[in-house]
Amino acid sequence: MCRIRIISLLCLILVVCATSSAQTKFNVLTPEDPVFTPLPDSLKGVVIDTVLTDSAIYPGTTRTLQVLVPAKYTGEQPACLLLGLDGAFFEALNVVDNLVYKEEVPVMIGVFVNWGKILDEDGNIVRYNRSNEYDRTDDRLAQFLEKEVLPFVNTLVTPDGRKVQISDDPDDRAITGSSSSGIAAFNVVWERPDLFRRIYSSRGTFVAMRGGNELPTIIRKTEPKPIRIFLQDGINDTWNHIFGDWWEQNQLMDSALNFAGYEYDFKWDRGTHSGFFGKRAYPDALRWLWRGWPTKVRKGKTMNGMLLSILPGQDDEGWKYLGEMSDTTSLIPDMKRRTLSSDELKKTGLKNICSVSRMHNGDIYMSDCDGRLFLQKKGSRKPQKLETLATGDSGFAITPNGKILISSEKNSNWLISYIIAPDGTLKYGQQFYWLHNTDNHNNTPYGNMQFDTDGNLYVATPIGVQVCDHNGRVRAILPVPGRKVDFIAFSGNSLYAVSHGRIYVRILKSTGYDSWAEPIEYKSQGAG
């Protein structure tokens, strides 16, 4: 314990000495904000207490909801939204009611949602669902809020006849949470900035429970998103022998958000893992999150060198929706050239071909959906099954110099690198490229992959397009609307991506390389 406290003291000294763009602050014990005092009855908003059951996303769960409709809400037009996880924590009903009345924040509906539980026939709790809902690092909770909670709330009517209407503009929505709900709130905004763009996370559980410890690394590598973040934690927060150190992980989040150039604040104190200081910071956090509204939340300005080298600029238009996957051939250039025609396929005698690479010399590499790799030499009638098999089921790519073939590995975060021998066969295969995959996406198949002319590898993955350097390390992640990317293709400096059957395109600085082009030598990035 003594060692832990010494480390914490050292961290405190380092934080005090460092200058953060987020203006990291020490939270002294100040008098409680007057907004915690309830408004007079004549000025109070209406609180609707209700229960949500029959969830399709979290089957069997039941949970309580409190919906605050401030007195200043007329019902004539949609209001902003403040969604609180773990229910009306931080005395949220009084705080939000006061802030709206005093016009320190926009008129907003407060929706305070508790975690789910499963009850038996006698009303006893047989399963708690809090950690499963809150500590995950996928988009399931965001889906639950989007598809089940908010549509339900929009059906409510106050006793005096005001219909609850919530704005669908993500800039008009904020979400809050503490501890496990603190990481949950962050993850909702991170996964779905098209739903929420403002977040207060108090003592967030960014530790090794269900992949939360990966978030600082992912933030550093991911193209910045339009979100605004307020973090709060204490230097004596929880240290757990199994999961890690809450304070240290929040510092890593602070560092990552600063590196990625986000508009954020980090208020810290001497507290433990309790709601005391989180409650004290809550009113100022909401004021800060909503400052300047209705001005849109801006994207971060990253210091990631790989992102800066491949993205046109901070204000580029990003991804543009083109159409549905049924129009792939017409919408994505050279798609016919990237596949085999029915006649060509028939001649090979192979079935279920998933990936094809035509080489400049007329050779053709093919993989089937069972992960078997074949080579059909120019002039040969039948393809040969290579002795070294590609174990993946999602395709392969060949470096621009034609010397290396990269294949996915089934049910793995690894890609295998093979050396291409002069006769076209493969040798010296080894796990080489390592991709990010949160704990909640294990065994999810990757899509295809393609190189740019600088030798960087672009891979379609469940968390976006991951960009790897020559030594197999992910340096950048390009999120795509819909999140999971099933297929990518370059055409010049246009990168096409297919996600959930929808085709998107964006312009990059980098230029894609197709294997049928003449081989090119690219500048080495060294041993790494």
User: What tens digit of pLDDT does each residue of 86-114 get?
Assistant: 999 999 999 999 999 999 999 999 999 99
- CA-closest candidate to residue 186, choices 261, 108, 240, 264: 264
Average pLDDT over residues 22-33: 58
Check whether 373 has a pLDDT greater than 60.
yes
Give the mean pLDDT of 314-332. 87
Q: How confident is the model at residue 386 (pLDDT cuts 50, 70, 90)?
A: confident
pLDDT surpassing 50 at residue 268: yes
Which range among 154-163, 218-227, 325-334 shows the weakest confidence by mean pLDDT? Answer: 325-334
Predicted confidence band of residue 167 (pLDDT cuts 50, 70, 90): very high
pLDDT at 81 over 90: yes
Say if residue 6's pLDDT is above 70: no
| pLDDT at residue 4 in the model | 37
Locate the domains of the chain by residue range.
2-303, 306-334+391-507
Closest alpha carbon to 84 in 202, 167, 244, 236: 202
Mean pLDDT of the 372-397 span: 79
Confidence label for 30 from pLDDT (cuts 50, 70 and 90): low
What angle do helix axes 92-101 and 276-289 make, rounded to 10 degrees?
A: 30
Write the DSSP symbol of residue 171: G
pLDDT band with cut points at 50, 70 and 90 for residue 10: very low
Q: Mean pLDDT lowest for which of 46-50, 78-82, 312-316, 358-362?
A: 312-316
Sign (positive or negative) of CA dihedral 283, 20, 217, 203:
negative
Pick the closest to residue 71 from 61, 63, 79 (CA basis): 79
Mean pLDDT, the chain, whole residue set:
90
Residue 284's H or E segment, with its range, is: helix 276-289
Give the fold, CATH level 3, of 2-303.
Rossmann fold (3.40.50)
Average pLDDT over residues 291-302: 96
- In degrees and rounded to multiples of 5, residue 265 shows phi and psi of -135, 155
202-213 tens-digit pLDDT: 999 999 999 999
* pLDDT for position 387: 58
What is the second-level CATH architecture of the domain 306-334+391-507?
6 Propeller (2.120)
- 2-303 against 306-334+391-507: fold identical: no
Of 104-113, 190-199, 305-314, 397-406, least confident by mean pLDDT is 305-314
User: HSE of 518 in the Cβ direction (CA atoms, 13 Å)?
Assistant: 2
Q: Does residue 191 have a pLDDT over 50? A: yes
Q: Quick one: what percent of the chain has pLDDT higher than 70?
A: 91
pLDDT of residue 443 exceeding 80, the answer is: no
Assigned token pair, 385: 């099954």
Q: Give pLDDT, residue 353.
A: 85
Strand partners, 80: 108
Predicted pLDDT at 412: 82
Q: What b/e string do you get for 44-59 counting C-beta neighbours within 10 Å, with b at 16 or more?
A: bbbebeeebeebebbe
Confidence of residue 394 (pLDDT cuts 50, 70, 90): low
CB 458 within 8 A of CB 450: yes
11-15, 58-62, 223-227, 511-515: least confidently modelled range? 11-15
Per-residue confidence (pLDDT) for residue 409, from 0 to 100: 82
371: confidence class by pLDDT, cuts 50, 70, 90: confident
Give the separation between CA 25 and CA 270, rounded to whole angstroms. 11
pLDDT at 7 over 70: no
